[in-house]
C-alpha cells in the first residue's frame, strides 16, 4: 500500500482539532469474543466528542459467510457517507484497546481511497489518561459523499494466495499466536483446520504492541528480521480473520516497507477449506 500520511496522531493533536469540518473521528473498536467486551455498549457509555461508530461486522460483505470481509465499494461508500465521512477528510481512527482493531479500520479506509487516515496513538485509553472529555450522546452527522477508489494492490484473494504459496513470489507473515500457527492449539472459530499457509512465517501481532501502543521502529524491524521477513521484499500479512494482520501491515509501514498487502480472508477462509494445503509445526 502506498505511503500517504503519517500513521499516528496524539491525543492533544486531536483535541486541538475537534470540530473542524474536514475532520472525521471514528471509533473502530472490535474485540475477540474471548475479551468479553461489547464495543457498541462501550461507545454509548462514552466516546470522543463527535466520533462515529464503525462496526467491522456490519460494514462488511455480509454475503461471504466469512467475518468482516471487505464490502463492495458502493456499500462502503454508502455506509461511511451516512456517517458523515468523505474520502477528502482527515480521518482519525481509535479503538478501546489502545491498538487492536483501529489498524484494520484505517487499512479499510485507505484501501477504499481515503488518503489521510490516522490512528490515535494509545487509543481511547490515552485520551482518557490525558483527562480529555467523553460524550455519551449519539452522533448526528451530516451525510457526506465518499468516492471510493480502490487500491487493489493492497489486498489478496484466496486464488492469489494459493499462487503465492506455490511460487514463493512474496513473503507471507501470519499474525496469529504461535501455538495456533504451529497447529498445536485449536482455532477459536468452529470448523477450521489447524496449521498455517505453506511457506508462511509467524510474527504474533501482540509482539508489536505494548500498553496499547506500537513499539519503536527499531524494535519492530528486529522482530520482523527474527521472523525471517525482509521488508525490502513484497510481504503479505495474514491472521485469523484479517484484523490483526493490519497491525503487522502497520508495523511494516513504520519501518519503511513499500510492497505490503493483506490477505482479507485470512485463516477464517484458508483454514475452512479442504482444497488448499496446510502445514503444521514451526516455520521452515
DSSP state string for 211-223 = TTEEPPHHHHHHH
Residue 275 has pLDDT above 90, yes or no: yes
Residue 55 is predicted with a pLDDT of 98
- The candidate with the shortest Cα–Cα distance to 39, out of 74, 13, 68, 80, is 68
- Tell me what percent of the residues of the chain surpass a pLDDT of 70: 98
Tell me the pLDDT band of 4, cut-offs 50, 70 and 90: very low
Residue 6 is predicted with a pLDDT of 84
Beta-carbon contacts of 71 under 8 Å, excluding residues fewer than 6 positions away, are: 59, 60, 61, 79
Tell me the pLDDT band of 1, cut-offs 50, 70 and 90: very low
Residue 5 is predicted with a pLDDT of 58
- The candidate with the shortest Cα–Cα distance to 202, out of 264, 257, 281, 274, is 281
User: Catalytic residue at 203?
Assistant: no
Predicted TM-score (pTM) above 0.85: yes
Tell me the pLDDT band of 190, cut-offs 50, 70 and 90: very high
Beta-carbon contacts of 224 under 8 Å, excluding residues fewer than 6 positions away, are: 173, 203, 231, 251, 252, 255
What are 275's three cell numbers? 482444497
The ranges of the chain annotated as CATH 3.40.250.10 are 8-150, 153-270
Of 93, 239, 250, 261, the active-site residue reads: 239
Q: CATH says 8-150 is which class?
A: alpha beta
Which whole number is the average pLDDT over 234-238?
98
* C-alpha dihedral sign at 231, 149, 31, 54: positive
Half-sphere exposure of 281 (CA within 13 A, CB side): 4
Return mean pLDDT, the chain. Answer: 96
- The candidate with the shortest Cα–Cα distance to 235, out of 135, 159, 164, is 164
State the CATH architecture for 153-270.
Answer: 3-Layer(aba) Sandwich (3.40)
Amino acid at each position: 500500500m502506498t505511503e500517504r500520511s503519517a500513521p499516528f496522531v496524539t491525543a492533544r493533536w486531536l483535541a486541538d482539532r475537534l470540530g473542524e469540518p474536514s475532520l472525521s473521528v471514528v471509533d473502530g473498536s472490535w474485540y475477540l469474543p474471548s475479551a468479553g467486551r461489547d464495543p457498541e455498549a462501550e461507545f454509548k457509555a462514552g466516546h470522543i466528542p463527535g466520533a462515529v461508530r464503525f462496526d467491522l461486522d456490519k460494514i462488511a460483505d455480509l454475503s461471504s459467510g466469512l467475518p468482516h470481509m471487505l464490502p463492495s465499494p458502493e456499500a462502503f461508500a454508502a455506509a461511511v457517507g451516512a456517517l458523515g465521512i468523505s474520502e477528502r477528510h482527515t480521518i482519525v481512527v481509535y479503538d478501546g484497546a489502545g491498538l487492536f482493531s483501529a489498524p484494520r479500520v484505517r487499512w479499510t479506509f485507505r484501501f477504499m481511497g481515503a488518503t489521510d487516515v490516522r490512528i490515535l496513538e494509545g487509543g481511547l485509553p490515552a485520551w482518557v489518561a490525558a483527562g480529555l472529555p467523553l460524550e455519551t450522546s449519539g452522533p448526528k452527522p451530516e451525510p457526506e459523499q465518499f468516492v471510493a477508489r480502490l487500491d487493489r494492490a493492497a489486498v489478496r484473494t484466496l486464488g492469489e494466495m494459493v499462487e503465492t504459496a506455490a511460487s514463493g513470489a512474496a513473503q507471507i507473515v501470519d499474525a496469529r499466536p504461535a501455538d495456533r500457527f504451529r497447529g498445536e492449539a485449536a482455532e477459536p472459530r468452529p470448523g477450521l483446520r489447524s496449521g498455517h499457509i505453506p511457506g508462511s512465517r509467524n510474527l504474533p501481532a501482540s509482539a508489536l504492541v505494548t500498553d496499547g501502543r506500537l513499539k519503536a521502529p527499531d524494535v519492530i524491524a528486529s522482530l520482523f528480521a527474527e521472523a525471517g521477513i525482509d521488508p525490502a521484499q513484497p510481504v503479505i500479512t495474514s491472521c485469523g480473520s484479517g484484523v490483526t494482520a493490519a497491525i503487522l501491515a502497520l508495523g511494516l509501514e513504520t519501518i519503511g516497507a513499500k510492497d505490503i498487502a493483506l490477505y482479507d480472508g485470512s485463516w477464517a477462509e484458508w483454514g475452512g477449506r479442504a482444497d488448499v494445503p496446510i502445514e503444521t509445526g514451526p516455520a521452515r
